[in-house]
Amino acid sequence: MPKDLKQMYKTIMDDHFTPQMEVSFVDKDKRQTLFYEKVSWVIDGVNKGLRYGENPGQEAALYRLVNGNLALGDARTIAPGKYLVSDIELLQSGKHPGKTNLTDADNALNILRYFTDTPCAVIVKHNNPCGAARAQSLEQAYHKAYMADRVAAFGGCIALNKAVDKATAQAIANQYAEVVVAPEFEDGVLDILGARKNLRVIRINDIDKLQSFIGERVIDFKSLMDGGLVAQWSFVPQTLSEKDFMVAATEYKGQTYKINREPTKQELQDMLFGWLVESGITSNSVIYVKDNVTIGIGTGEQDRVGVAEIAVDKAYRKLADRYCFEQYEISFADLTDDDKRAQIENDVKKVKGGLIGSAMVSDAFFPFRDGIDVGLRQGVKAVVQPGGSLNDYQSIEACNENNATMVYTGQRSFKH
């Protein structure tokens, strides 16, 4: 009998994780202990924890911090009881969430916390954003984030920073998503989203306090294959406003190099938006942003030139798909008419994948100018990077040759 492969996704694991967990840090006579309790939800009258871990067959559990605190030097962990993702409310759930649903939601909120004023949407897939956008309305923000990478958004986690209205709900219901996270849902919205029976609709009751989590730290744990653990403080961006940027300048062999052109207001907006989105992207990463929307997101590569090229390639391919969908309501991959395909490809080439006038964002410095040249050849006019390379002068020269501007953050934002 052939094995029913679909069944492995339907099998719900009963985890054996304990109701409580304690983590102690001991130094001589001083003991600091963090106390956790396991989270579960009542679904169809049954108490359930996480559906399963990263893959079927892997048990998993979610714990919330309920007591204790940890101080190492001048840094402290987030205060117990300050719940956000670990206190989610399931408003609709054909399936209770699995580990990847929660980590996707968590990383979406990790990014969203920096954009609490303007309507903003972040769509995360496999713990990386595939689209992020700010706009005047929530519907516009969602539409722009979705169309930034419509293909990758399939089955993703949508996080929104404002109450979901009917127009936004209808746009979401027209697509396939796994999770929608928002602070509130207006009257009639759940009826619209209910058309997707397995869509997990999650209300984060304290999402209005997202901004209060800026600068707060938690302990990240990484398990090693032999059972060991690596512990570190979570990343906290130091560049939170446009004034925190430093216009690029450096010295090399007694000569001073500096950027000729100051950034425009829109370039500063895009660079700040991109830098804060970048903090939630797996390294090595380079992304392109224009008009408060991500255009191309390159993630998790081994070299900076390669990831810059991948982000360019994605910008071209995603724009081709967008043009095709807007004109013919099908994906570019499904378009068989050669003349129509050629026209779309030509239209995309004319605007260089939408990259002309965009901002290029890098989570670490460019060791040579070749990485920045990838973006400049596509019409990038603003670059934000940490700075600190011995060859920063090369990057400055490259920008000046192309009338582009560049700023430093003075901080690397690797995420592994």
Specify the range with the lowest mean pLDDT, choosing from 62-76, 125-139, 235-249, 281-295: 62-76
Does residue 280 surpass a pLDDT of 60?
yes
Of the pLDDT bands very low, low, confident and very high (cuts 50, 70, 90), residue 2 is: low
Distance CA 354, CA 335 (A): 21
Cis omega (within 30 of 0) for bond into 260: no
Convert the pLDDT of each residue in 362-374 to its tens digit: 999 999 999 999 9
Convert the pLDDT of each residue in 123-154 to its tens digit: 999 999 999 999 999 999 999 999 999 999 99
Q: So what's the pLDDT on residue 26?
A: 92
Of the pLDDT bands very low, low, confident and very high (cuts 50, 70, 90), residue 342 is: very high
Convert the pLDDT of each residue in 114-123 to its tens digit: 998 999 999 9
Q: What percent of the chain has pLDDT over 90?
A: 70
Q: So what's the pLDDT on residue 306?
A: 97
* Strand 229-233 with 219-223, pairing: antiparallel
Q: So what's the pLDDT on residue 266?
A: 97
Of the pLDDT bands very low, low, confident and very high (cuts 50, 70, 90), residue 1 is: very low
Convert the pLDDT of each residue in 165-221 to its tens digit: 999 999 999 999 999 999 999 999 999 999 888 899 998 877 778 888 899 888 888
The average confidence (pLDDT) of the chain is 92
Does residue 3 surpass a pLDDT of 70?
no
Of the pLDDT bands very low, low, confident and very high (cuts 50, 70, 90), residue 5 is: low
Does residue 88 surpass a pLDDT of 90?
no
Of the pLDDT bands very low, low, confident and very high (cuts 50, 70, 90), residue 12 is: low
